[in-house]
């Protein structure tokens, strides 16, 4: 809406008042009405007499060719420069709009955050039992519970599209970006080498191209909407690919000197990481230089994508462990799984500050 018309000089300031309608007309709330007095018999007689006298004087002045002037005790109005009715009406409407916006802003500020989490995809197995030939989309329990630990709502974002769907829909991923406050890209299957334009080096590592395409579009929509994104493990790698970066398809093969980043211990395998000097992660975690995290990945960031900076690396072999996109308030990827770290643990990095910064960014950007 355009700004309300400027007030004429000398007109009362109604901008801070709220208007409400009644059967008798528009009532300006906030102004103190003058107390009504019931005139007595003498007062009424005096009023009638004064009115008749004023009328007689006015007729006499007009007949004499004199300028008619209002009586001294009556308020004088400059009718030539008084505001037209639509100017006053515009200010009343503007006041109502401001009041509505204030109430709406308060409701948004109080509303519980709604965080989307991308889906893991279990593709059909022709010989499998149970849901034979069906695709499953699901959340790993720990990631949803970790985000929910701050009393926010978590929603899984399913794949969308018309092609190949039994029940077509016009809902698109941009609709989720519009109605949710932030996005978590959870871990899971390998990123397909096709997604960063490289041939697959081993047939057993084809990755999940279907999930890549779905999550890359989802990531794009949230970034375009100015919403925060946190990528975990695979999600970190996908953020790098989204900005033109590449991945080591297998750390042990591509970086033989690297220490093991995955084995049968699963989330019990840990190693030290080192925060980049002056990086935001160092400040986020109290200025510390190193920490210990879990390690459950055999892919990793190789060539860094455009406008990304490295926030942390593996202390022993330099493998990238955290990245951040510089042109958004909060688009961050971590190679470890913070949802598997216990809060206030001395053994592993307490990732509560990471979650808190992510959710704070969600609150600050949802307006």
Alpha carbon distance 62, 68 (integer Å): 7
Q: Please tell me which residue in 236, 339, 351, 357 is annotated as part of the active site.
A: 339
Q: Which of 187, 180, 242 is nearest to 217 (CA)?
A: 242
Burial 59-80 (b: 16+ CB within 10 A, else e): eeeeeeeeeeeeeeeeeeeeee
299 vs 159: CA distance, rounded Å = 24
| Residue 233 annotated to the active site | yes
State whether the Cα torsion 71-72-77-80 is positive or negative. Answer: positive
Which candidate in 271, 297, 298, 337 is catalytic?
Answer: 337
* Distance, first Cα to last Cα, the chain: 17
Our answer to whether residue 236 is catalytic in this structure is no
Task: Kindly provide the residue ranges of all beta strands, DSSP E only, lying in the chain, ordered along the sequence.
Answer: 18-22, 25-29, 114-118, 120-122, 136-138, 153-157, 182-185, 229-232, 247-248, 270-275, 290-294, 300-301, 308-314, 320-325, 331-334
Does the annotation mark 339 as catalytic? yes
Catalytic residue among 215, 217, 221, 233: 233
CA atoms within 13 A on the CB side of 131: 7
Provide the annotated active-site residues.
233, 337, 339
């Amino acid at each position: 809406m355009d700004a309300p018309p400027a007030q004429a000089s000398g007109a009362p300031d109604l901008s801070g008042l709220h208007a409400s309608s009644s059967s008798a007309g528009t009532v300006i709330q906030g102004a103190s009405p003058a107390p009504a007095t019931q005139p007595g018999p003498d007062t009424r007689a005096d009023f009638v007499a004064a009115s008749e006298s004023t009328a007689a004087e006015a007729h006499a002045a007009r007949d004499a060719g004199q300028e008619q002037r209002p009586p001294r005790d009556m308020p004088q109005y400059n009718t030539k420069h008084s505001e037209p009715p639509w100017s006053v009406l515009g200010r009343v409407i503007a006041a109502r709009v401001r009041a509505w916006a204030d109430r709406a802003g308060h409701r948004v500020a109080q509303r519980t955050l709604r965080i989307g989490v991308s889906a893991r995809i279990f593709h059909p197995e022709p010989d499998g039992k149970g849901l034979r030939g069906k695709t499953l989309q699901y959340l790993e329990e720990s990631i949803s519970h970790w985000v929910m630990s701050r009393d926010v709502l978590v929603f899984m974002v399913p794949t969308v599209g018309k092609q190949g769907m039994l029940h077509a829909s016009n809902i698109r991923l941009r609709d989720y970006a519009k109605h949710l406050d932030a996005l978590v890209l959870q871990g899971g299957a390998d990123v397909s080498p096709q997604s960063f334009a490289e041939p697959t080096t081993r047939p057993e590592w084809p990755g999940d191209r279907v999930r890549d395409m779905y999550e890359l579009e989802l990531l794009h929509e949230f970034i375009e909407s100015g919403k925060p994104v946190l990528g975990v493990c695979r999600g970190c790698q996908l953020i790098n690919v989204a900005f033109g970066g590449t991945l080591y398809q297998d750390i042990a093969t591509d970086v033989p000197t690297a220490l093991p980043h995955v084995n049968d211990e699963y989330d019990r395998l840990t190693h030290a990481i080192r925060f980049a000097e002056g990086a935001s992660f160092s400040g986020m975690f109290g200025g510390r230089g190193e920490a210990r995290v879990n390690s459950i990945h055999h892919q990793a960031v190789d060539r860094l994508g455009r406008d990304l900076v490295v926030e942390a690396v593996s202390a022993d072999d330099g493998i990238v462990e955290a990245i951040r996109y510089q042109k958004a308030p909060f688009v961050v990827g971590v190679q470890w799984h913070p949802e598997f770290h216990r809060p206030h643990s001395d053994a592993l990095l307490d990732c509560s500050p990471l979650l808190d910064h992510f959710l704070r960014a969600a609150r600050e950007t949802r307006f």
